[in-house]
Structure 1
């Protein structure tokens, strides 16, 4: 039976690259995000590449909708064998440490940690029944090395990192893998050169991030990779 990857927070960067990588490896691809117009454009691009793909609307801040949408994926394809969670918050939601308030931090915790837990809980029962599956997360290296200009994001990213580590510890005896890729560079399109960006700013392609996810999924040797 053909396996399926569900990508929560799918966008034209990392999410699409992960979809393309796993799709080329023979996976069905389920794309989940809020904007169906943009999502359908990504789906059509994958279909044109010969990859089986379907789009499902899901606002990750609406936990009930997110759970329903993931169940729709399971109903459509039969299983979710790999979950990849990579939503990206907007820049205008970022606060420095002194400017973080409860409302702002609650937004980031909802966006990253609680949405991640919601997604995991939607797919985990089936994975536990099969004794097989992978749960993958994408975050920024500020989870390990906080940056003050994105402090409110970093607080939640640190929590997501520890959630991924703990899932890895807890699920390995059930043959379920959990891992996280932390990105410490600007994600760029293929063909972009370092000279296109400010001097000293590291860059990485979305395809390289997708390869890191595939490596984690295949090898299951470590719980986390930091790029570059």
Structure 2
């Protein structure tokens, strides 16, 4: 049985690109997301490229359910060698002056508690084998928060600090944890930028999803940098009214 990557929050953007990149390296792929039909469609697309992939239904806001879904992955595909976590937030992002506890709680569930639950579902096995990678996709607001995405940035910063201390803790036992921060807008593989152009000015850096996937592969393969930023963070934060 080959190596397995489990992608939590798998979609047509980063998740699919990461699946294709690791699949080309011989990994079998577990795709976990809320929408079972869409996830099955992605698995079929991967199969069309000769990549063994299987879809699993999971909601990261349901922590016991997420842990159970990752358990199902292990039952079906064997040990999880790499975990990649990249679900996207939804809904409004109010500025700090009106941010409510409930609104912030959602982002903490999505970007802090969900990741911890996913990690605890796979980490004991990785530590026992003294091998494995735990990868996260986030945004540059983890390092430099934006008013316009305040609740997401608060949670992203907490997640980044979790990854930093997690990597220091587990690296001595052969496990790697890394964080890819995106300073720009993701353009999925094979898609144009028409939809993004409606909402984001042309000055916002566009980053192809396959570039992010390549970076995840480098983090896993080299195990050197645990925190990287892709895109032009200075250009992004220099846009008038954006910061």
Q: Secondary structure at the match of 2:204?
A: coil
Q: Secondary structure at the match of 2:31?
A: strand
1:207 aligned residue: 210
Residues 14 and 188, structure 2, Cα contact 8 Å, conserved in 1 = no
Answer yes or no: is 1:227 the counterpart of 2:226: no
* CA 1:10–1:193: 2 relative to 1, 3 Å: closer
1:25 aligned residue: 25
1:131 aligned residue: 130
Between the aligned partners of 1:32 and 1:199, the Cα distance in structure 2 is 32
2:50 aligned residue: 50
Between the aligned partners of 2:202 and 2:80, the Cα distance in structure 1 is 42
2:69 aligned residue: 69
Answer yes or no: is 1:94 the counterpart of 2:97: no
Q: Report how many residues are paired.
A: 226
TM-score by length of 1: 0.96
Residue by residue, what CA displacement relative to the aligned partner does 1:47-89 show, whole Å, maximum 9, x if unpaired?
A: 0110000000001100111000000001111100000000100
TM-score by length of 2: 0.90
Structure 1, gaps ≥5 residues long? none
1:217 aligned residue: 220
Answer yes or no: is 1:5 the counterpart of 2:5: yes
Q: Secondary structure at the match of 1:93?
A: coil
Between the aligned partners of 2:206 and 2:119, the Cα distance in structure 1 is 30
2:235 aligned residue: none
Residue by residue, what CA displacement relative to the aligned partner does 1:91-131 show, whole Å, maximum 9, x if unpaired?
A: x2322111211111111000110000000000011001100
Shift of 1:193: 6.6
Shift of 1:2: 1.0
